[in-house]
Amino acid sequence: MAKNILICDDAAFMRMMIKDILTKNGYNIVGEAENGLKAVEKYNELKPDLVLMDITMPEMDGIQALKQIKSTDPSACIIMCSAMGQQAMVIEAIQSGAKDFIVKPFQAERVLEAVKKVVG
């Protein structure tokens, strides 16, 4: 069965790129969010198998959203996405429960490798 994925990024073209990579490889995109607040709302509403979450977003950043989702669902699978040079944030994200992280700009193989590793 195809895995359901929620994509959270404030840049529409980034969401589109990830969606394209994943749908071509048999994954099901159940929702998109443009900030951390929406990500938390959509997670609770859709209960996806996996969330791909950008770190830097308006209203609520990805790390706060990650912590909030993990507080309501400790088994949530979340992969963080970050631009180069955000090592401290990546470490905080992993310590807060993220399963993996992908560095932007995305390479399709790396996105798929991370997703497969986390949800199969």
The model's pLDDT over 74-103, given as tens digits with 9 standing for 90+, comes to 999 999 998 866 678 888 999 999 999 998
Say how far apart CA 39 and CA 36 lie, in whole Å: 5
Q: Quick check: helix, strand or coil at residue 12?
A: helix
Name residue 36's amino acid.
G
Asked if residue 8 has pLDDT above 90, the reply is yes
> What's the pTM value of the predicted model, to 2 decimals?
0.94
